[in-house]
Amino acid sequence: MIFERYLALKSISALQIELDQKNIRTRKQKLSNGRTRGGCRYGKGTLYHLLKNRFYTGEVTYKGSINKGEHKPIVDRTTFEAVQKLLSDNAVERNASRQSSNALLAGLLFDDPATG
C-alpha cells in the first residue's frame, strides 16, 4: 500500500502526512525483556529506506550483490521500478532547489518535524 500511495502522491512528505492521518504506524515488536518497540509514526528517512528496499521484491542484497531471496515478493517489479524512478527524479529536483537558494545553510540544517 505504501508503494502505491507514494506513486499516487508523488511525494514523501505527502505520504508521511497521509499515513499520519490514517494513524498507520511502524510495526510493534515485543522484545525478550518484555518491552515493546515500534508503533511510532513513519519518518521520512524510514519511508525512503522502505521504498528503496529490494527485500519487498523477493530479493536480498548482500555485500553489494542482489540475490533472489527464498521469500515471495510482496511488491511487483513494475511498481518497485516506478518508485525508484520517482525517488530519483524527486532527488534531482530537491538538489536543484537547494543549490539555487541564497541561504547559506540551505540543505545543511534540518529541524525535527515531530517537534515543529
**What CATH number should be reported for the domain holding residue 20?**
3.90.1750.20
Determine how many CB atoms are found less than 10 A away from the CB of residue 96.
10
Residue at 91 is within a domain? yes
Q: Return the DSSP state at 24.
A: -
Cα distances (Å, whole numbers) of residue 18 to 12, 37, 39, 75, 77: 10, 22, 16, 20, 24
What is the domain extent for residue 59? 2-99
Per-residue pLDDT of the chain (116 residues; tens, 9 = 90+): 999 999 999 999 999 999 999 999 999 999 999 999 999 999 999 999 999 999 999 999 888 888 898 999 999 999 999 999 999 999 876 555 556 666 766 666 655 555 44
Determine how many CB atoms are found less than 10 A away from the CB of residue 83.
20
Threshold 0.75, pTM exceeds = no
Give the model's pLDDT for residue 76: 95
